[in-house]
Structure formats: C-alpha cells, structure tokens
Amino acid sequence: MRRNDSPEQCHKSLIKFSAHNDYIPEMKEKTKIKNRYYKFSQFLKERYGEKVWKIPVDAGFSCPNKDKETGEGGCIFCRLDSFSQVQSQQGIDVGAQIREGLCLGRERFGLKKFIVYFQASTNTFAPVPLLRKLFEQAITYDGVVGLSISTRPDCLPKPVLSLLQELSLRTDLWVELGLQSIHDRTLKILNRRHNYADYLRTVEKLRSLPLRICTHLMLGLPGESRDDLLETAHEIGCSGIDEVKLHPLLVLKDTPLANMFFKGEFTALDSEQYISLACDFIERMPPKMVMQRLTAEAPADILIAPQWTMNKMRVLTGIENELKRRQTRQGDKYNHKKMNV
C-alpha cells in the first residue's frame, strides 16, 4: 500500500497506474495526445498534477552478460560510463545520490515530486536482500513518488518478481526492459545473450503485476532494414506494455561495435534517417503508449558516432516537424491485427 492511502484508495490508484490492464475503459477515454505523440511529461502531469523529475542513480551493480562466470564480454555497444547522468556517481552511496538529486531538483528547479531511477547496468542482478534494502531506502525519502528499475529480460527470477510485487503495493513502480530489437539474428550480433522469446515470457509475468513496463529499443542496428524496424514496431505496439524508450545506436570508443564501425561493417544513421524511422515507429504505436524517450546522448569524449545526437533538442524538434510535415501523429498507422507498412 502507498503511504497515506487507504486500501480502497490504493486499489483505485494502482488500477489507474497500470495501463497495461486493457480492461480499464476510463484510461483509454482520458488519455488524449496533446502533441503529435504521447510524451512522458504529459503522462506524469496527468498522474501527479505537476512536473516530476527522475533522479538517476548508480547502485554499482554488474550485468549477467559481463559476469566473469556466465558473461562473454557484454553487449557490443555497451560502456558503463556512457550513462552520462550517472558516470560521475560510481562508488557514491545510493542514499547520497538520491539526496543530492532531491536537493538539486528542489533548490534549482522548484520541484516537489521525484522518481528514483536505478539506471546503470542491470539493477536486478544482485541478491534479493540487497535489492530490497536499496529499493526500500529509495522510496522512504519525502517527495519520492515512484521507483524505476532498469534491467534485462533474462534477469527477473521469481524471488525478484515477488519483491517487485511487494514494492508495487507501496509506490508507483516502473520496470524498464532492455530489448533493442525483436529479431534474434540482431540480438545475436549484439551479443545480448537472450532472445525475443525471453522478453515475451518476462513481459507476460510483469503484466500480472500493478506496475508499468517500459521497453528499450534501438534504431540503426547492424543488418536491420526499415521493414525490420516496422516489424519491431508492430510487435511492440501489440505487446500490451505501457511505455517505450527509443534511440539511435551509439558507437562508443573501446567497444567491439567501434571496431565494426571502423572496419566499415555498418554505417551509423544520419539525423534525417533516424528522424524518419522514429516517426515511422511513433505512427505505429497505440495512442496510450507513452514515448518516454526518443533519443539518447553520451559523453563527448567517448562518442564516435553519430555526432548529431549531441544536440538533443534538435533531434526532438526534427521529429515533431517531420510528423507535422506528414500530417500524422502517434496511432495513425497502429494495427493490432497485422502489419501496416
């Protein structure tokens, strides 16, 4: 149960929060896209009545894909210090990171409500007692209204799911799943070491819990065509999840992907290509799907390509302008029965 909520209030709040429960007609009626796509900021304003800020933290977790016993070097694109917002916080106590974020948000921006975002690496890859301690600590701070946990589809065993269920009765909860593509051949190239079936099984388990599911996807992956992307968009649009994070594949220094890039084995998207593909994707999402992110950045000293990602607002403005030029918006090409390319 959330703090200060009666059981009845808690139940109603959880129902409204869990958009993947498709049997709730009131959510479909109330969710109207004010812009060309359903922005995360709009969802938060509707949910909390004011602006909410995510505080990214680094709990120092590793990843099963980099584990010495089970991993094989990790994903070809990954560098832990590419998480630009948390790279300077590695080794700092989680509580101190949260307090610093709260202070910054309150004093500089006048904010009152916050979501603690366990962002870096795989945030369910640890013993459950440690996860419980850190997650419960995060939701005790005044002003924290939610918790967001970034992880992998293959790193949510039953004990962790039980913990998530407990947490979901006490705070608004997001689980963010790194997928990148629905195509197993692409996942193999990326060395993800899970497949699309793993993702589907995990989503099915999470859909039974009162939380929100956010899926991470990349555009411009090696060997993928526009048709591949449209297939991914169709599948994700029909999956019953709540939110999507979308961004271009970033080539970072000292990664296997960088070696592939310099050998000419693939070419990074230019900004026009990315904007066009992102709009193709948005058009095929159901109207109630929250587009939590549409681009990404990395520290300038490790980013090789594409350099245009350094200007986030230019990318977002480009997406808005392209949707206007097409005279389309999110949901215009959504088809829950068959591909609509």
Which 3 state secondary structure label does DSSP give 102? Answer: helix
Higher pLDDT, 84 or 325: 325
CA distances in angstroms from 132 to 56, 129, 271, 306, listed in the order given = 18, 5, 42, 38
- If you compute the radius of gyration of the chain from its CA atoms, what whole number of angstroms results? 19
Ranges 81-85, 111-115, 265-269, 296-300: which has the least confidence: 81-85
In this structure, what token pair is assigned to residue 182? 């629905």
Higher pLDDT, 27 or 70: 70
129 backbone dihedrals φ, ψ, rounded to 5°: -60, -40
Query: Would you say residue 274 has pLDDT above 90?
Result: yes
Domains and CATH numbers, the chain: 7-326 (3.20.20)
Q: What is the mean pLDDT of residues 42-48?
A: 97
Q: How confident is the model at residue 19 (pLDDT cuts 50, 70, 90)?
A: low
CA distances in angstroms from 116 to 34, 46, 152, 166, listed in the order given = 26, 19, 18, 17
pLDDT in the model for residue 69: 60
Query: Would you say residue 68 has pLDDT above 50?
Result: yes
Separation between Cα atoms, residue 146 and residue 207, nearest integer Å: 18
Among the listed residues 31, 113, 121, the one whose alpha carbon sits nearest the alpha carbon of residue 78 = 121
Query: Would you say residue 292 has pLDDT above 80?
Result: yes
